[in-house]
């Protein structure tokens, strides 16, 4: 039987500011030296650097409470928890996906999910949320004043209620096709923010 291995992506959560920062990039340091030549490298949608080697991408405000800035060959995303609490919870589910509690109360991996694939899955999550938000913002504007047709942009995103999804670029078609799951495979809310 293959050995389970799950890598963590780099993140930082500040209780005082309510900001969650997540770094999504190809990280060679997450892999042993002998495997670095074979590791999967993914495209995070960055523009090529200019002639002097400076990034052409700049810090961007994607939505209210969601920002990104270039970091190595990927992005550093910043989510404001007070503005987007359900997105923050979903990002934490993605960060901690692959671990479950054993009989001794310790966290152990239950699958094989390496750093670069996990970072790509989180990047795709942000892209799906931005697409959802912009599409349904226009939809809500169209049905302004008709509450039965309004979509709550902070709670109605489908990924908030589905299993984390980490596709390869070849299999990814812009949405989460993961099946519903029981919710036991991630840290409980009281443990995530400690």
* Backbone φ/ψ region at 186: left (φ over 0), alpha (ψ -120 to 50), beta: beta
What residue segments make up the domains of the chain, in order of their start? 5-192
Neighbours of 68 (CB within 10 A): 23
pLDDT at res. 173: 76
User: Coil, strand or helix: which one is 12?
Assistant: strand
pLDDT at res. 185: 38
- Count Cα atoms within 13 angstroms, Cβ side, for 140: 13
pLDDT at res. 178: 61
Neighbours of 126 (CB within 10 A): 21
CB neighbour class for 10 (10 Å; exposed up to 12, middle 13-18, buried from 19): middle
pLDDT at res. 119: 95
Query: Per DSSP, what are the bridge partners of residue 83?
Result: none
> From CA 103, how far away is CA 151, in angstroms rounded?
42
Q: Block means of pLDDT (10 residues each) for the chain, length 194 residues? A: 84 96 93 86 85 83 94 94 94 93 89 93 94 84 73 80 88 68 39 37
Instruction: Spell out the long-range contacts of 130-133 with Cβ–Cβ below 8 A and sequence spacing 24 or more.
Output: 130/62, 130/63, 130/66, 131/174, 132/157, 132/158, 133/63, 133/157
pLDDT at res. 116: 92
pLDDT at res. 53: 74
Q: What is the DSSP string of 109-142?
A: E-SEE-HHHHHHHHHHHHHHHHHHHHHHHHHHHH
Q: Which of 2, 3, 10 lies closest to 116 in space, CA to CA?
A: 10
């Amino acid at each position: 039987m293959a050995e389970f291995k799950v890598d963590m992506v780099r993140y930082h959560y500040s209780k005082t500011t309510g900001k969650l920062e997540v770094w999504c990039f190809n990280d060679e340091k997450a892999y042993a030296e002998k495997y670095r030549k074979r590791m999967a490298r993914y495209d995070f949608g960055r523009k090529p650097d200019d002639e002097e080697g400076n990034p052409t991408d700049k810090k961007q405000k994607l939505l209210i409470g969601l920002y990104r800035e270039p970091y190595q060959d990927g992005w550093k995303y910043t989510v404001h928890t007070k503005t987007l609490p359900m997105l923050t919870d979903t990002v934490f589910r993605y960060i901690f996906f692959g671990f479950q509690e054993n009989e001794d109360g310790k966290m152990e991996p239950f699958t094989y999910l390496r750093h670069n694939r996990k970072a790509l899955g989180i990047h795709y999550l942000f892209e799906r949320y931005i697409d959802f938000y912009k599409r349904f913002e226009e939809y809500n504007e169209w049905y302004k004043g008709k509450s039965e047709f309004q979509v709550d942009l902070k709670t109605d995103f489908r990924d908030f209620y589905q299993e984390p999804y980490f596709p390869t670029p070849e299999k990814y078609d812009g949405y989460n096709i993961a099946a519903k799951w029981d919710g036991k495979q991630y840290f409980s809310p009281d443990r995530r923010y400690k």
